[in-house]
Structure 1
Amino acid sequence: MGAGKGSLITAAVSVVCAVTVLAAPGTAFAAPTPTPSPTATPNASTNASSTAVSTKDLEAVRQKLDKLYHEAALATDAYNAAEEKAEKQSAEIVALAKKIVQGKAKLDRLKDRAGAAARAQYRSGGLPDEAQLMLSDDPQEFLDGTGRVLQGQRATKALIAETTRTQQDLEQYAKDASAQWKKLEAGREAKATAKKKIKKRIAAAEKLESRLEKDEKERLAELERKAALKAQTAWLDSGVLDKTGDKTGGKGSAAGKKAVEYATAQLGKPYGWGDEGPTAYDCSGLTSQAWASAGSPIPRTSQEQWKQLKHIDVEDMRPGDLIIYFDDASHVAMYVGEGAIVHAPRPGRTVTIAGAGSMPILAVVRPDAS
């Protein structure tokens, strides 16, 4: 990245690391409807809103929001996977359609050749070889012709065999195309189902948050920061950065540096489920596009990134590596060094820098392991 942008990001990361926070609020998840505090009265003044919901109730809200956004993240992964499969299946259908067109054209040519051969045989009268020999004025010419006939017979057999193979290929192409269409339709249904689930979960989370007063939302955000800080602090206290030798940011590969440069250039852009930029991103949309910009395309979803990319020990991670979070691999972020990540957290948040240990780590994967 450019010197100005690089120094700005390094400075930002260093400041956050210095206070051991490295965890922007809103890491992808949530909480039940808050209940009024026993101390609240129906006719309380507007200033009493800060006591209308207890800290215990707000913590329950935070956990419920986490749950709703987590479920939305899972559904988003399913939506993205269905989208990716649909693109591949559509491409396969197009390729099969081309093969069918080419096969039909080939079959037409073979039929023309077969027709010409049949017409030639008809013109010869279809007489047996013995009769043609007896009627011939030049027996040697006949025998020469017989050799050509034998060659023609072999060519005819080859023509028939090739025609049969072409017909069989066309039948198989048609079956394959039909199967791909069925998969495509199933994928569309899965995509539609995932989309409904995403919208339902996000709507429920937004409705829950909308019930809170302004000061309650501020207290909720503070609870989110504290939860992230607690997790990040425990992770740092484990000595993981001492093991990685990454106190100063570590060294990534050339491609890894390009990926980090791309990802950090998106800071401040909004989260958008199913989005791959350039104006909005979901978590795996950000990481996949960052690595595509570095010349190393990777799977679209966090779950497939976890399944297909090479796993790396946490102690060996370097900038550009991807950290997969939660037992179901429903979230992914890019490690940028100094114990920090850049990621697209969840709806209502923007691409931000956070603590690598602010969420439960499932695995670390390396897109350019080769």
Structure 2
Amino acid sequence: MGTGKRGLLAAAVAVVCAVTVLAVPGTAFASPSPTPAPTTAPDLTPPPAADEELEAVREKLDTLYHDAAVATDAYNAAEEQTKKQSAELVELAKKIVEGREKLDGLKNRAGAAARSQYRGGGLPDEAQLLLSDDPGEFLDGAGRVIRGQHAAKGLLGEMTRTQDDLEQYTKDASARWQTLEANRKARAAAQKKIEKQIAAAEKLESELEKEERERLALLQEQAAQRAQTAWLDTGVLDGATSGKGTAQGTRAVRYATTQIGKPYVWGAEGPDSFDCSGLTSRAWAGAGVVIPRTSQEQWRQLKRVAVKDMRPGDLVIYFDDASHVGMYVGNGTIVHAPRPGRTITLAGAGSMPILGVVRPDA
């Protein structure tokens, strides 16, 4: 890399650093992740001094794509809440319409009773009953009056309850609408943050020469391999269980691995593209198990298992903020959707910092 290129690269790194400092993490789905190790073991020695600037670029790209992943989880969460609130609003609207129709019917019944009394000379049933000289008619009429009084009270009570229900439905609908609008704003803010982070990363990469981009890809691959080797060297998988998946886990793995080669697109959940949690949630849905949409909710809601006990189909959650997820396929390997610009691929399970493992079919 010449002196002029180094100056340009250093300036680009400085600009992206400023973007990263200004960006505020949200909540996400796909973080930076390496591609699988090549068939021949790469050089795992520390990068030479000549690669220091490219190492800085690599680290900055990791940060930018990680922050985009966090924001993607926020977008996905807001999207799920928006769908939920929209469905609840539809149900409330149906209840309001039904309540109004019921109230109109009750009012019609009350009106009919009032008109009947008017036709009887305007006297209430009790007064008309007292004017009767026929004992039989009096007794028969008394029963009708009592029944009529009960019916009138029941009608008024039902009208009051229906009116109260309508008022509550209206209040609930207003609250749901406010929440829906808040989720829409959160989704829009997350989308803006995602696009900003990805644009900064793409700008940084675009300023590299072809040879520098190739060297950067090799550095990323080497970093991933070093992390995987270090993870395996801890003996974390020594004495691990056989790792045979359940029937559902096997179906989930089969679905995920058949997506290899499809592009990563933030917010996508198939069938042509996926983000990281979109892939895992859709794969398990294909196996008949519904799990949360985002990596953070998958970590929060699903049963956690020890790394040594993980089996194919389990989900490996990455980074302290649970911003990335991959599916374990066995032999220390995951299948995942890495980040924008990459495709679904296999990678070492230890190539990124592991937060923990969860089991959808526990």
With the shorter chain as reference, the TM-score category is: 0.7 to 0.9
Change (3 A) 1:164 1:115: same
Q: How does 1:59-70 map to 2 (within 5 A)?
A: 59-70=55-66
CA distance in 1, matches of 2:70, 2:268: 15
Take 2:351 and 2:151, find their aligned partners in 1: how far apart are those partners?
74
User: Alignment RMSD, CA only?
Assistant: 2.0
- The TM-score with structure 2 as length reference comes to 0.85
What is the aligned-residue identity percentage?
Answer: 71
Distance in 2 between the 1:175 and 1:253 partners? 47
Q: Which of 267, 270, 275 pairs up with 2:260?
A: 267
* Match of residue 91 from structure 1: 87
Residue in structure 2 matching 1:101, options 97, 100, 112: 97
Corresponding residue for residue 215 of structure 1: 211
Indicate whether 1:72 and 2:68 are aligned: yes
In 2, Cα distance between equivalents of 1:273 and 1:132: 78
Deviation at 1:239, TM superposition (A): 1.6
Q: Secondary structure at the match of 1:241?
A: coil
Whole-angstrom CA distance in 1 between matches of 2:326 and 2:350: 11
1:179 aligned to 2:172? no
* Counterpart for residue 147 of structure 1: 143
- Aligned-partner residue type, residue 142 of structure 2: T
- 1:341 match: secondary structure: strand
Distance 1:348 1:245 in 2: 35
Q: CA offset at residue 140 of structure 1? A: 1.6
Using the TM superposition, give the Cα deviation of residue 311 of structure 1 relative to its aligned residue in structure 2, in angstroms: 1.0
SS in structure 1 opposite 2:304? strand
Measured in 2, the distance between the counterparts of 1:213 and 1:130 equals: 100
Q: Structure 1 residues 131, 93: closer, same or farther in 2, change over 3 A?
A: closer
What letter corresponds to residue 299 of structure 2 in structure 1?
Answer: W
Given that 1:321 and 1:367 are in contact with CA atoms closer than 8 Å, whether structure 2 keeps it comes out as: yes
SS of alignment partner, residue 220 of structure 2: helix
Contact 2:72–2:266, Cα closer than 8 Å, also in 1: yes
Is the Cα–Cα contact under 8 Å of residues 291 and 298 in structure 1 kept in the other structure? Answer: yes
SS of match in other structure, 1:243: coil
Q: 1: distance between equivalents of 2:245 and 2:171?
A: 48
Matching residue's letter, 1:240: V
1:54 and 1:147 map into 2 onto residues whose CA distance is 105
Give the Cα–Cα distance (whole angstroms) in 2 for the partners of residues 128 and 213 of structure 1. Answer: 97
Match of 2:246 among 226, 231, 253: 253
Partner of 1:113: 109
Partner of 2:280: 287
Residue aligning to 1:6: none
Please give the per-residue CA displacement for 1:311-334, whole angstroms capped at 9, x wherever unaligned: 111111110010110000000000
Deviation at 1:242, TM superposition (A): 1.9
1:127, CA displacement in angstroms? Answer: 3.8
Asked if the contact 1:17–1:339 (Cα under 8 Å) also holds between the matched residues in 2, the reply is: no
Partner letter of residue 248 of structure 2?
A
- Partner Cα distance (2:101, 2:131) in 1: 41
Q: Secondary structure at the match of 2:288?
A: coil
The CA distance in 2 between the partners of 1:291 and 1:251, in whole Å, is 17
1:137, CA displacement in angstroms? 3.7
Question: TM (normalized to structure 1)?
Answer: 0.83
1:1-370 equivalences under 5 Å are 54-127=50-123, 132-133=128-129, 135-246=131-242, 250-369=243-362
- Return 131-140 or 197-206, whichever deviates more: 131-140
* Aligned residues between the structures: 322
Residues in 2 aligned to 1:58 and 1:129: alpha-carbon distance in whole angstroms: 97
SS at match of 1:365: strand
Write the distance in 2 (CA, Å) between the matches of 1:311 and 1:329: 13
In structure 1, how many angstroms separate the alpha carbons of the residues matched to 2:295 and 2:127? 79
Contiguous gaps of at least 5 residues in structure 1: 1-14, 22-50
Measured against aligned partners, the alpha-carbon deviations of 1:265-295 in whole angstroms (never above 9, x if no partner) come to 0000110001111111100010010011111
Asked if 2 retains the 8 angstrom alpha-carbon contact of 1:333 and 1:343, the reply is yes
- Cα distance change on mapping 1:143 and 1:357 into 2, 3 Å: same
SS in 2 for 1:54: helix
Structure 2: which 5+ residue stretches go unaligned? 1-35, 43-47
Give distance in 1, aligned partners of 2:207 and 2:124. Answer: 98
CA contact (8 A) 2:71 2:194 kept: yes
**Contact persistence 1:326–1:359 (CA under 8 A):** yes
Aligned counterparts of 1:185 and 1:133: Cα–Cα separation in 2: 60
Kept in 1, the 8 Å contact 2:125–2:145? The answer is no
